[in-house]
Structure 1
Amino acid sequence: MTWHDVLVVVLLMAVAAGIIPVIAGVVQYLLVPVHAVKNHLGDAGPYLPRVVVVVPAWNEGAVLRGSLERLMGLEYPPDRLRVYVVDDASTDDTPDVVLAKAAEHPGRIVHLRRAQGGQGKAHTLNHGIEQALADDWMEALLIMDADVIYRPDSLRKMTRHLADPTVGAVTAFIREGSGKPGTVSKFIGYEYVTAQAAARRAQNVMGAMACLAGGAQLHARANLEAVGGRIDTTTLAEDTFTTFLTQLDGRHVVFEPAAVVLAEEPDSVVALWKQRVRWARGNVQITRRFKKVWFRRPFSSRGAGHRLSSLTFGAIWFSIYLLPVAMTAAALGLVGLYFVAPDIARTTFQSLWWVAVVAYVFITATTLMLDRETSRRSWVQGLLFPGIGAIIVMLAAWIPGLWEVRIPQWLGVEMSATAIEVLTLVFYAWTVIAMLSAWLVRWLESLPGGRWPSRFLLYVVGFGPVLCAITLDAYAKQWRGASTAWDKTEKTGRVVG
């Protein structure tokens, strides 16, 4: 084998790295319909434990009133539900809002004020959890965000799973619920269906849950006590950390898709970037902290075992975690092949993007059918999730010569050899070009009058590549050791239940 042959093999392996996340995504979606027959409902039953709701609040006056009113209106026995609002030394009208609601519902809403604020969400939660565990009254504890709205039957549908003593925690489906969502909010709404309604159904089937939704974590008291009675304060992903600990100690974590919780999500790329960098950095920390879990023999101190170490769960986790790396490797592989083996490059490009086309059609169709309510609001964003640019590249793979020969012929023009070469290289490198363009999307939005150009470019680049760019930024910030303060997303109370 010559050095040329070795180089070709290496470049082909780089391209193959880009196929792995696509296949992992398809495998996960193939498990979604299995959830209809393999779920936890058979082991659930009517169960209404005494629940304490812990709501961390730092300057949440704009949204708390509506959230507390909805909690008081849940289809749940009033004498079995208490709400602890943990005020993290807020400087707005948060205390006044909570105290007014506490006066309306004496004994059911409690205002807990922290004298020292700014330590982070986990510290705030722990203040409330400590108070709840100090009293034998609490049988289950629900952690939620201050801005979310619980549908009336949501808590009841979650608690039924705790009738099974092997279940440690239950999470719900967080749906984007803004009354008049903008472009970014609609993209997030569609993404939440893929990352929750679909992915967590598949995780139910696998028996390994990646994360309890931060705004909807229901824990059995025994589970809280077993994981130390506290939320981890050393990571930015305290919800994921607790999810892993629960399963490592032999208790199940269940996703309840019928329990719907509405949340207001960012409607700007700048706000989205700030939120998701925090999430992505948390995942970096979790991946390192639990490095002995990945692809190892399952172990549990209680002997029940767990599936976090399974090949399927690990492959899906790392396919998402390393997605920007995989996209970059595929682009570099194709561009390298173009210069050393152009015929192989052309065939490889078509094969790679044919797989992408099949995955795109399958995943998009399944997602749009999975949650009709979100589909009515976000079907355009669903179709354009990978970006107009990626769809053009898919067509280039599906119909060879379309953009280089056929369309120019229809238009009565002729492309030069140089133009065809540049266009081909753009197709081959598109995944990297899209990720790099995400920074331009954010920059444009911050300029006066730049919102509309930013939105247009967002549709061209795609929401998926923007998320990958944010992940890359998170890698860099985590490597530099940037600040990990509780930098929450501002909410305005736009949720309509």
Structure 2
Amino acid sequence: MVPTCASFAQFLIVGLHGMWNHYSRIGPDTPRVAFVLPAWNEADVLGPSIDALMSIDYPPGSWRLYIVDDASTDYTPEVMNAKVAQYPGSVFYLRRERGGEGKAHTLNHGLQVILAEDWAEAVMIMDADVLFEAMTLRRMVRHLADPEVGGVTAYVKEGSHPGRLLSRFIGFEYIAAQAAARRTQNVMGGLACMAGGAQLHSRANLIAIGGAIDTSTLAEDTYTTFQTQLVGHRVLIDPNAIVWAEEPDSLAAFWRQRLRWGRGNLQIMRAFSDIWFKPGRSALLGNWAFGILWFSITLMPLFMLAGSIGAIGLYHLWTPWALGAFYVASGVTLVAYLFQTMFSFGIDPTAARRSWFEGIAFPGLLSIGVMAIALLTPFIGLKLEKPDAWSWGSLAVHAILGWSAISIAAAWCVYRMDKAGAPNWLRNALLVLVGYGPMLCAIGVAAIVAEIRKSDLKWDKTIKTGRARIPTKERPPTYSIH
């Protein structure tokens, strides 16, 4: 219930973004911007990304692109030598001969070069596969006219072409998590994370946080976001500044990516343990609303497991109360799900047309069925009487009350099937039944286990193939599960 209510509250606040913002303090500034792009074996995507950047709407000579090669073993050097020759004075190639230390170390190599010179007034940290729309940079840098702003992030949209089931799930998730939730955080006065794929910093802010990216966690983008706010600078998202990124279509690759993110968030919790729920330490990060929001999302799997255990325990200890509790909890969840889904469709209709089915199926068709059972209980006169210990009725009741936990285990099984080479059609059908949300929670459990076991920290990057596109006109796909 806690994550559900916290998430629901976020969506209720989104509407205030039109009134509570700092847009009166922005201006049409065009500071000199240095893009820094870390790359390791990105030869397939670097060329298109660089070419797309060359068409952005920004004064010529006012921006540069620094590619930092983390000792790639593919043909990245050949691609980059060609691009440096094609765009002299605009594209710079920096190569680390000793690589494998991680994304943050690679970024720091570039930042050291950039900040050693006086040229750059702002720095854009991006990923190799990210494509910028023409006006995105202008829309981001205008916020730096406000001296209180130290960092700005863009709205990252899923741009894989052709879109498939998993990438469309991710596309819907990005509507809810960025276009909606980060608007709420703007209203609250800051952000939990500036997306690592499009993270703009003023030069003054980078110097204030030490001129380098933290290398102790797997969530260097979130760590930098927290640091920025702790030195007194504001961070925000411009939802009209859009970049497009390729996301994995393999559950195995998706699992590795999100496991890294999940572990990184747990490391952030530990690294900043002295500020949680302490407004005196940080007006934003230390306030109770932000803390509840952060912990409810980061620890959502634990809340779901606790909810299932509590529901089954109530069924055994106080059977007459269990039905009422089940009805209330499921009813609240259903209302929140419907409101957030419809709100997300409304806040970005073009993206929603591509992923409308995935938005509806986000919690899983089986979870929707469980919520429907709860909705129908008052009308069908269902009475929850304690059946015999081994009856089919008892098993059904336990399955329904414990579905939150069961769905996480089921999602893990779908992942293992995909990793074992199950056909895509079977994996996709099961993912629709079990749900993308439970899959995220299964990854969250794996992240907690990995942190408890203190598994190795490494830059386990997601392999990209150059499938991202900036669509000229988004159209709803002819739907199929493939």
Please state which band the TM-score falls in when normalised by the shorter chain: over 0.9
8 Å CA contact 1:40–1:254 kept in 2: the answer is no
Q: Deviation string for 1:356-404 (max 9, x for gaps)?
A: 0110111111011111121011000000100011100111110018899
Cα distance, 1:33 vs structure 2: 0.9
User: Are the counterparts in 1 of residues 45 and 465 from structure 2 also a CA contact under 8 Å?
Assistant: yes
1:26-56, Cα deviation, whole Å (9 max, x unpaired) = 1111111111111222211101000000000
Amino acid at match of 2:330: W
Per-residue displacement from partner, 1:112-150 (whole Å, max 9, x unpaired)?
010101010000000000000011011000000000100
Matches within 5 A, 1:73-222: 73-222=55-204
Which residue of the partner structure matches residue 478 of structure 1?
A: 451
Structure 1 residue 405 displacement after superposition: 7.8
Confirm or deny that 1:335 pairs with 2:312: yes
Q: Distance in 2 between matches of 1:284 and 1:319?
A: 12
Match of 1:447 in 2: 420
One-letter amino acid of the counterpart of residue 392, structure 1: G
The answer to whether the 8 A contact 1:145-1:215 is kept is yes
**Worse overlay, 397-406 or 114-123:** 397-406
The one-letter code matched in structure 2 to 1:73 is S
**Are residues 1:293 and 2:275 paired?**
yes
Cα offset, 1:20, TM superposition: 1.0
Rounded to whole Å, the distance in 2 between the matches of 1:240 and 1:220 is 17
Moved over 6 A (4+): 401-406
Cα distance change on mapping 1:405 and 1:294 into 2, 3 Å: closer
Match among 301, 309, 326 for residue 349 of structure 1: 326
Aligned residues: 465
- Normalised TM-score (structure 1): 0.91
C-alpha distance in structure 1 between counterparts of 2:421 and 2:338, whole Å: 37
Q: Which amino acid aligns with 2:298?
A: Y
The match for 2:295 among 307, 318, 323 is 318
| Alignment CA distance shift 1:147-1:404 (3 Å) | farther
**Alpha carbons 1:140, 1:218 under 8 Å: kept:** yes
- Give yes or no for contact 1:444–1:453 (8 Å, CA) kept in 2: no
2:285 corresponds in structure 1 to 308
Is the CA contact 1:87–1:113 (under 8 Å) kept in the aligned structure 2?
yes
CA positional deviation for 1:105: 1.0
Please give the alpha-carbon distance, in whole angstroms, between the structure 2 residues aligned to 1:100 and 1:380. 42
User: Shift of the alpha carbon at 1:70?
Assistant: 1.1
- Deviation of 1:306 (Å): 3.5
Match of 1:245 in 2: 227
Task: Write the distance in 2 (CA, Å) between the matches of 1:446 and 1:359.
Answer: 33
SS of equivalent residue, structure 2 residue 61? helix
Q: How does 1:26-65 map to 2 (within 5 A)?
A: 26-65=8-47
For 2:337, the equivalent position in structure 1 comes to: 360
- Deviation of 1:483 (Å): 1.4
What SS is found at the alignment partner of 1:32? helix
Residue 235 of structure 1 corresponds to 217
> Judging changes above 3 Å, is the alpha-carbon distance between structure 1 residues 399 and 248 closer, same or farther for their aligned structure 2 residues?
same
Q: Which residue of 2 aligns with 1:457?
A: 430
**Cα distance between partner residues in 2 of 1:375 and 1:255:** 20
How far apart, CA to CA, are the structure 2 residues paired with 1:405 and 1:227?
59
**Could you tell me whether the CA contact under 8 Å between 1:126 and 1:231 is conserved in 2?**
yes
Deviates more, 1:486-495 or 1:420-429: 420-429
Q: Distance in 2 between matches of 1:263 and 1:78?
A: 25
1:8 — aligned with what? none
SS of the equivalent of 2:262 reads helix
CA contact (8 A) 1:59 1:93 kept: yes
| TM-score between the two structures when normalised by the length of structure 2 | 0.94
Asked if 1 retains the 8 angstrom alpha-carbon contact of 2:279 and 2:285, the reply is no
Distance between the aligned counterparts of 2:215 and 2:133, measured in 1? 30
Structure 1 range deviating more: 382-391 or 451-460 = 451-460
For residue 321 of structure 2, give the secondary structure of its aligned residue in structure 1.
helix
CA distance in 2, matches of 1:434, 1:43: 47
* 8 Å CA contact 1:56, 1:87 repeated in 2: yes
Give the direction of change, closer, same or farther, for the CA distance of 1:448–1:133 in structure 2 (3 Å limit).
closer
Residues 338, 345 of structure 1: 8 Å contact kept: yes
Aligned-pair CA distance for 1:297: 2.5
Aligned-residue RMSD, C-alpha: 1.6
Which consecutive residues of structure 1, in runs of 5 or more, have no partner in the other structure? 1-18, 300-304, 407-416
Question: How many angstroms apart in 1 are the aligned matches of 2:346 and 2:456?
Answer: 41
The answer to whether residue 367 in structure 2 is matched with residue 385 in structure 1 is no
Aligned to 1:273: 255
CA contact (8 A) 1:298 1:307 kept: no
Give 1:95 deviation, angstroms: 1.2
Q: 2:55 and 2:280 mapped to 1: Cα distance?
A: 42
